[in-house]
Amino acid sequence: MNIVISINDLKENCTGCGACSLACPCKCITLSPDTEDFMFPTIDENKCIGCGKCIEKCHIKHDFESNKCFTPVGFCAWRQDNIRLCSSSGGIFSSIIDSLCDKNTYVFGAAFSNDWKSVVHIRCNSNHYSRLRKSKYVISQITNSLYEAKSELQKGNKVIFSGTPCQIAALYAYLGCDYKNLITIDVLCHGVPSQKMYKKHLDFISKGREVVLVDFRPKGNGWNARFNVAFSNGDVYNKDQMHDWYLYNYFQNTFLRRSCYHCKYSTSNHIADITLGDFWYIEKYKKEYANEPGVGLVICNTQKGLDCFKHLEGIHVEEVDSDYYSYIYRSRENTYNRNKRDQFFAEKKHKNTELLEKFFKAKVFAIDILVKAKRIVKKAGRKD
Ligand SMILES: Cc1cc2nc3c(=O)[nH]c(=O)nc-3n(C[C@H](O)[C@H](O)[C@H](O)COP(=O)(O)OP(=O)(O)OC[C@H]3O[C@@H](n4cnc5c(N)ncnc54)[C@H](O)[C@@H]3O)c2cc1C
Ligand code: SF4
Ligand code: SF4
Ligand code: SF4
């Protein structure tokens, strides 16, 4: 087998996890940004001995489906204290950590870097995991976490590993087996943009001001996604997805990683023990929950996940028939259309950030006007 060709063939599906580079006995795989600013592995052909260990540890080639024998169970849930307000949806991630962690437990997950300009996948202990709270709509690099999680598991320490569904797939493929002392948590995943795209947008709106907070899920204006930035001089930038260029294009799938457009993990076949999501359209399930400040959809995909979830305290919880939440899955079930992405990356080659933002802002503005016009027409219709 020509290993160099095999790894290059994976480009459309590669999630940049770096497991192949950790597995290589010759240290001849390096991860570096491609022309679209996403990390990809490259093999030094002169050093490669063709052993195939890189492909063996790559999650793309793994068959996760055939071992499944558990029917997932879904819940509508939220944490009953103020931690819910510091979380994206129901705060159940924090409840799991609070309930399962002891001093020999390590929690892995995504946090903003200290200067807020990137997102890092880090290891924490039970007292210092608050940085992991809330969704960051940016890719996080898990290569170090894979290595550290494996070594903690082998020492017999408990590991709670959280991330996007493909990151959990990468962990299992890298470990090669499940561990009794491992719990995995993933999210219902829309997809991820590159670190550079996020940093460029943050720099663009900062205009030299020092950033002291970034929050994609502030709860002050209801329960939704926003691009919220606070600066050291007291200024605040706080816009919803119809008015922020980055968020708008994130939800329009303009610049996600290639693998997100035909992702096999973020549909109803999750690999993690527990999957967490926003229970969007909660009012369709129960009208009286419409004004709750964040409700979680929790899916236990394994017996281990269900056993953990059943022990959580201080949460409101009700089991939900899959008919109620299938519409949330459905929105991610199909592959995304790639046209907008192709157009964006073609334009990106010729435009700097400012021009690019202006170019796509014009579209956001036009859609905003259209939405407002539709609302006015609808209102006028009701009066008649
Ligand atoms: C990139 C992304 C896309 C998402 N898309 C959807 C969606 O389309 N529909 C939906 O219903 N829910 C989606 N979610 C999940 C949802 O936003 C909440 O994260 C989830 O409901 C858990 O909320 P919580 O209140 O229980 O805990 P929180 O405290 O909000 O959850 C924090 C958890 O998210 C993980 N996390 C945060 N950012 C990242 C990241 N960049 N990479 C990997 N892990 C991360 C942390 O490691 C931690 O495990 C998405 C989350 C992310 C990170
Ligand atoms: S085939 Fe072996 S030596 Fe070559 S890149 Fe893969 S792991 Fe490294
Ligand atoms: S192991 Fe990870 S980084 Fe390497 S080719 Fe596979 S998906 Fe890409
Ligand atoms: S959509 Fe799929 S490939 Fe993209 S980040 Fe989410 S799980 Fe990974």
The string of pLDDT tens digits covering residues 231-246 is 999 999 999 988 999 9
Residue 304 · residue 183 · CB < 8 Å: yes
Q: Are residues 50 and 121 in the same domain?
A: no
Query: Ligand 4 atom closest to Cα of 169?
Result: 7
What residue ranges line ligand 1, CB within 6 angstroms? 87-94, 109-110, 119, 132-138, 140, 162-164, 185, 187-190, 192, 276-278, 280, 296, 328
Query: Ligand 2 atom closest to Cα of 29?
Result: 5
Q: Are residues 54 and 148 in the same domain?
A: no
Q: Compute the average pLDDT of residues 267-282.
A: 90
Q: In the chain, what percentage of residues exceed pLDDT 70?
A: 87
What residue ranges line ligand 3, CB within 6 angstroms? 7, 10, 14-20, 41, 58-60, 170
Closest Cα to atom 4 of ligand 4: 260
Is any ligand 4 atom within 6 A of the Cβ of residue 90? no
Which ligand has the nearest atom to the CA of 186? 1
Q: Are residues 170 and 271 in the same domain?
A: yes
The burial class, CB within 10 Å (0-12 / 13-18 / 19+), for 8 is: middle
Distance CA 30, CA 292 (A): 46
Of 166, 168, 271, the residue with max ligand 4 atoms within 8 A of its CB, to mutate for a pocket test, comes to 166
SS3 of the chain: helix, strand, coil, percent, to 5: 40, 20, 40
Q: Compute the average pLDDT of residues 200-220.
A: 95
* pLDDT at residue 379 greater than cutoff 80: no
Does a structural domain hold residue 47? yes
Residue 101: alpha-carbon gap to chain centroid: 22
Q: In CATH, what number is assigned to the domain containing residue 26?
A: 3.30.70.3270
Q: Compute the average pLDDT of residues 50-62.
A: 93
Is any ligand 4 atom within 6 A of the Cβ of residue 192? yes
Does a structural domain hold residue 215? no
Q: How much distance in Å is there from the Cα of 250 to the middle of ligand 4?
A: 13
Residues ≥6 apart with Cβ < 8 Å to 365: none
Query: Ligand 4 atom closest to Cα of 259?
Result: 3
Q: How much distance in Å is there from the Cα of 75 to the middle of ligand 4?
A: 23
Does a structural domain hold residue 353? no
* pLDDT at residue 287 greater than cutoff 80: yes
Last-in-domain residue among 37, 61, 85: 61
Q: In CATH, what number is assigned to the domain containing residue 263?
A: 3.40.640
17 is in which domain, residue-wise? 3-61
Q: How much distance in Å is there from the Cα of 283 to the middle of ligand 1?
A: 21
Does a structural domain hold residue 175? yes
- Model confidence over 121-169: pLDDT tens digits? 999 987 889 999 999 999 999 999 999 999 999 999 999 999 999 999 9
Using alpha carbons only, how large is the chain's radius of gyration in Å?
21
Does a structural domain hold residue 32? yes
Q: What is the pLDDT of residue 358?
A: 62
Computed over every residue of the chain, the mean pLDDT equals 89
Does a structural domain hold residue 146? yes
Domain count, the chain: 2
* pLDDT at residue 89 greater than cutoff 60: yes
Q: What is the pLDDT of residue 332?
A: 65
Q: Are residues 12 and 136 in the same domain?
A: no
Q: Are residues 106 and 176 in the same domain?
A: yes
Q: Are residues 20 and 102 in the same domain?
A: no
* pLDDT at residue 46 greater than cutoff 80: yes
Q: What is the pLDDT of residue 324?
A: 74
Residue 272: alpha-carbon gap to chain centroid: 13
* pLDDT at residue 384 greater than cutoff 60: no
Distance CA 43, CA 54 (A): 10
Q: What is the pLDDT of residue 210?
A: 98
Q: What is the pLDDT of residue 359?
A: 58
Which ligand has the nearest atom to the CA of 58? 3
